[in-house]
Amino acid sequence: MISFPFDVFMEILPLVDFTDLAAMAATNKDLSAYALDRMYQHIVSKNMQRACESIASNPSLAQRVQSLEINRSDHGANIETILPALRDALRNTRNLRTLKLDVDGQHSWILTPSLGVFKLRSFSSMSYTDQPLLDFLHHQTELEELRLAHSFIESQSPVPWDFPHLKKFDGPMSWIEVVVPRHPVSHVIVTHVSSVYGTLAAMGMTTAPIRHLQIPFHAMHKRTYEELKILFPALVDLTITNDAVPHNQTIVSSLSAWVQGWLQGLLAAISTVESVCLLGYDLTDECDEETVRKMTERAPAVRKFSLQDRGLGSGRNSRMIHWERRSSGWEVRQ
């Protein structure tokens, strides 16, 4: 029996590592249930191999699993031997709510046997887009967050997409027409665009206005300010990236007067924006308070402004500069 107060025990339990939890589970029946819950509720990548063996053979343990993640860096070449075990384990995880498959390559076949077994709230995948992945997503109608690494491809058997609870999407522009229209998406991160990419206009078809947006410069700059104002009537946080350029376009590396002027007009049009971040521009020429002031002089709602120089191709370390609007003007935040 547990010889100290239950509330103290529950405070200690989250601090116990996986090895000690296993020993605790073998101590007595009172400790076993709590230790097994802690061991199997959230399965991290480094524990995947031994956890999958237990989950596949023990339905009681499988029911405890709520989140699961695997990545190639934890397993290297052994990942190919672990994936079949993961496939078998997923068949039993009826209470799984978060699944993170950060393994590049064509690995969505591991999801096929578990179609209809669980309803995820969050799904992240670096697998190539193929029919097994599309079929799996069609079954995940409870998703709230979705992160995909590779571009959308047309399904061989088109079915209406149904994500009635989806709030956050992170992935290529080509998925926008699938995940945004008729769904309550309010957070969007566009990782990259291609020469033939999704329609920006689809972002205006969300049932919940987009409030947080990260998007490559090349996906926006040819649109008129009036179009962008209509598409993003409630935008609060805006991040413009400069390192995801279609192969047939040239990157604009410097924060030139033209880029500054474009941003000034954009912020004046989308007057709801409160926070702005520019990623990937060359900051070799110091960007001072006057530069920030000019870009935001027609956008009084903007209170925070950040720039990050990723040092692409220059051998320099990335650096981030943050400004905050005070009553006296823009000040650098430490």
Q: Which tops the pLDDT comparison, 170 or 36?
A: 170
pLDDT of residue 195: 57
pLDDT of residue 286: 58
Q: Which tops the pLDDT comparison, 316 or 161?
A: 161
Distance CA 126, CA 102 (A): 5
pLDDT of residue 248: 45
Q: Which tops the pLDDT comparison, 23 or 280?
A: 280
188-194 mean pLDDT: 90
Q: Which of 24-38, 103-117, 282-296 has the lowest mean pLDDT?
A: 24-38
pLDDT of residue 36: 72
Look at the block and give the residue holding tokens 């291609």. Answer: 194
Distance CA 275, CA 239 (A): 8
pLDDT of residue 39: 75
153-161 mean pLDDT: 71
pLDDT of residue 175: 93
Q: Tell me the percentage of the chain whose pLDDT exceeds 70.
A: 80
Judged against a pLDDT cut of 90, whether residue 206 lies above it is answered with: yes
Judged against a pLDDT cut of 70, whether residue 8 lies above it is answered with: no
Confidence category of residue 146, pLDDT binned at 50, 70, 90: very high
Judged against a pLDDT cut of 60, whether residue 245 lies above it is answered with: no
What domains appear along the chain, each with residue ranges and CATH number? 65-333 (3.80.10)
64-72 mean pLDDT: 93
Mean pLDDT of the chain: 85
How many CA atoms are closer than 13 Å to the CA of 46, on its beta-carbon side? 3
Distance CA 322, CA 305 (A): 6
Q: What phi-psi label fits residue 315: left (phi over 0), alpha (psi between -120 and 50 degrees) or beta?
A: left
> What tokens does 152 get?
């959308």
234-256 mean pLDDT: 72
pLDDT of residue 14: 59
Rg (CA), the chain: 24
Judged against a pLDDT cut of 70, whether residue 151 lies above it is answered with: yes
pLDDT of residue 30: 64
300-327 mean pLDDT: 80
Judged against a pLDDT cut of 80, whether residue 317 lies above it is answered with: no
